[in-house]
Amino acid sequence: MKDNNDATFQGGCLCGAYKFQVKNLEAGWQPRRCNCAICRKKGALWVPPPSQDDFIILKDDGNLKSYTFDAKVWSHEFCETCGVNVKVSARGSGWPMAVNLRALDEAEKLYSREWNKIGGKAFGVVYEPKSYTGELPPGQEDDTEIVNGSCHCGEVTYAAKVKSVEDVKPQSNGSALLSHGILVLPLKNDIQFRMNETNVREYTTKDGLTKVMFCRTCGVPAQAQSPSENNSVLLNLRTLDVEGLDEKWCMNI
């Protein structure tokens, strides 16, 4: 929740293992959305504290896991228990850093803020997603197409059958889905995953209404399930490896 000081916000992961406070955010602060592959797949909205002293750890049970890649300049940190992506920081020094707006308490009240775009996609090594090599979903029809997707590190890949990528309308409802940055597409038997079960983790929210599956290596949430959707697979559309998603669904809240 927000502190008495309008420029101070508290946040943390869903399971409560990690909690923090960000102070002295200037009036009208704007989150930053990076279009690189890892930030896109996580749906991250970054909020940089003004200084190191303005980021205060309130609780740390040691559950944060760090994920780096390519030049290993940035460390993306997520909770190993619930999968919420909490922050990103310069590897080694820990500064500069930014917290994920989605990890702030009552974050749903902050999504209406204007955000700035960061062109991280243009820097570093060109991202090449790992291809899906398993069986395809059954019953492909003339008016359907097969699309592939993956987490960032490639430990989780999948093939999904959809009517048309252009016609897909993503959904995002429920605080757990927002906390994980998930844009959902309900599917029944129209998806096949390829993954090592030891490399994924499922987290069920405390109210028992949502179960999220995320990669234990990179922290990208691949899917969710909810009784309100008849336990259909709620595919995270941000993980689709389809050209042009940066400016389509993945810029949605």
Task: Indicate the range of 113-117, 183-187, 249-253 predicted with least confidence.
Answer: 249-253
3-state helix, strand, coil in the chain (%, to 5): 15, 35, 50
pLDDT at 249 over 70: no
| Overall domain count for the chain | 2
In a domain, 100, yes or no: yes
CATH number of the domain encompassing residue 89 = 2.170.150.70
Residues 245 and 151 occupy one common structural domain: yes
Residue ranges in the chain assigned as alpha helix (H): 37-42, 175-179
pLDDT band at 45 (very low <50, low <70, confident <90, very high): very high
Q: What percent of the chain has pLDDT over 70?
A: 89
Residues 98 and 156 occupy one common structural domain: no
Question: 22: number of CA atoms within 13 Å, CB side?
Answer: 24
pLDDT computed for residue 4 by the predictor: 47
Residues 183 and 105 occupy one common structural domain: no
Residues 23 and 100 occupy one common structural domain: yes
- State both tokens at 135: 């069986």
pLDDT at 244 over 80: no
The residue range of the domain holding 189 is 145-251
pLDDT higher for 169 or 46? 46
User: What is the pLDDT of the chain when averaged over all its residues?
Assistant: 86
- Given 122, 156, 180, the domain boundary residue is 122
pLDDT at 150 over 90: yes
pLDDT band at 162 (very low <50, low <70, confident <90, very high): confident
pLDDT computed for residue 62 by the predictor: 96
CA neighbor of 111 nearest in space, from 99, 101, 103, 119: 101
Instruction: Give backbone dihedrals phi and psi of 173, rounded to 5 degrees, phi first.
Output: -135, 145
In a domain, 4, yes or no: no
96: number of Cβ within 10 Å: 13
Residues 52-102 pLDDT 10s:
999 999 999 999 999 999 878 889 999 999 999 999 998 777 789 999 999
Residues 15 and 87 occupy one common structural domain: yes
| 3 state DSSP class of 200 | strand
Q: Report whether 176 contacts 212 (CB < 8 A).
A: yes
